[in-house]
């Protein structure tokens, strides 16, 4: 009985700043009760394992560290092995902390607990975070939606150029923050108030109606919406 309770999910963990980690599996469509077709993103929520519980008296803040996607033993380096062996667990491909306001929210948690998406249900609003798709080096028309130059007869071949980037002798420089060509994408993006259409705990999937950043097979973090109803 004690072993069963040790691995039980703790729904209070995912309140506030807590959440779960999943994988963006792709998109599909489902039908609502009134017959409308809804485009949804499928997030596969595999088991999230508690690898460390941090308390304010020892670490200075309250948090829970979660491991996602276990590694094979021969793929765990010494640093990871030294960290995770304290909790008696293998290494993980992805680790993340969820912070809390105080220790009360994480009382009773221990290393080895398994977390799922049972803290949300259909109709809830969640905040979704992920690393966006990388676009590589792009010009200003794609990166900042510039209109480009003239495309009529007589215009030089500079249709997609950004135009002037500064002044003449005074001040004689390009100001910081000027939109320029450069690396686009591959940054952390958070989308707020994404609607939950369906939660399938048996198969470990969550269907979300709304924009979910990142490519397929990317890591996605789901939290309860902090601005729900605002």
Q: What are 136-163's pLDDT values in tens digits?
A: 999 999 999 999 888 888 888 888 888 8
Nearest CA-CA partner of 194 in 108, 109, 124, 122:
124
pLDDT score at 212: 94
Nearest CA-CA partner of 66 in 15, 109, 120:
109
pLDDT score at 73: 85
**How far is residue 18's CA from residue 8's CA, in Å, rounded to a whole number?**
17
Query: CA of 181: how far to CAs of 4, 124, 150, in Å?
Result: 56, 39, 19
pLDDT of 91 higher than 70: yes
- Every domain of the chain and the residues it spans: 2-133+186-224, 136-184
Work out the pLDDT band at 107, boundaries 50, 70, 90.
confident
pLDDT score at 132: 96
Query: What does DSSP assign to residue 46?
Result: P
What sign does the CA torsion over 113, 118, 124, 127 have?
A: positive
pLDDT of 65 higher than 60: yes
Residues 52-65, mean pLDDT to the nearest whole number: 89
pLDDT of 190 higher than 50: yes
pLDDT score at 66: 92
C-beta separation of 160 from 139 below 8 A: yes
% the chain with pLDDT above 70: 91
**How far is residue 131's CA from residue 149's CA, in Å, rounded to a whole number?**
32
**How far is residue 208's CA from residue 42's CA, in Å, rounded to a whole number?**
7
Beta strand 114-115 pairing with 48-54: antiparallel
E strand or H helix at 5: helix 2-6
Q: What superfamily does domain 2-133+186-224 belong to in CATH?
A: Translation factors (2.40.30.10)
């Amino acid at each position: 009985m004690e072993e069963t309770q040790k691995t039980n999910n703790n729904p209070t963990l995912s309140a506030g700043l807590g959440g779960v980690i999943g994988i963006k599996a792709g998109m599909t469509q489902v039908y609502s009760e009134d017959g409308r077709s809804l485009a949804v993103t499928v997030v596969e929520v595999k088991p999230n394992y508690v690898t460390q519980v941090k308390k304010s008296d020892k670490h200075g803040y309250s948090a829970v560290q979660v491991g996602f996607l276990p590694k094979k033993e021969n793929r765990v380096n010494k640093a990871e092995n030294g960290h995770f062996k304290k909790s008696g667990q293998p290494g993980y491909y992805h680790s993340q902390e969820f912070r809390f306001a105080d220790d009360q929210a994480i009382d009773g948690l221990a290393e080895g607990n398994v977390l799922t998406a049972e803290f949300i249900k259909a109709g809830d609003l969640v905040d979704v975070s992920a690393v966006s798709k990388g676009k590589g080096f792009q010009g200003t028309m794609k990166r900042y939606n510039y209109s480009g130059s003239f495309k009529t007869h007589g215009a030089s071949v500079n249709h997609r150029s950004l135009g002037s980037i500064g002044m003449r002798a005074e001040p004689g420089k390009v100001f910081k923050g000027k939109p320029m060509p450069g690396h686009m994408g591959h940054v952390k993006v958070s989308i707020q108030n994404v609607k939950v259409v369906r939660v399938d705990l048996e198969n470990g999937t969550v269907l979300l109606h709304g924009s979910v950043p990142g490519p397929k097979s990317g890591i996605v973090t789901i939290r309860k919406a902090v601005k729900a109803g605002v």
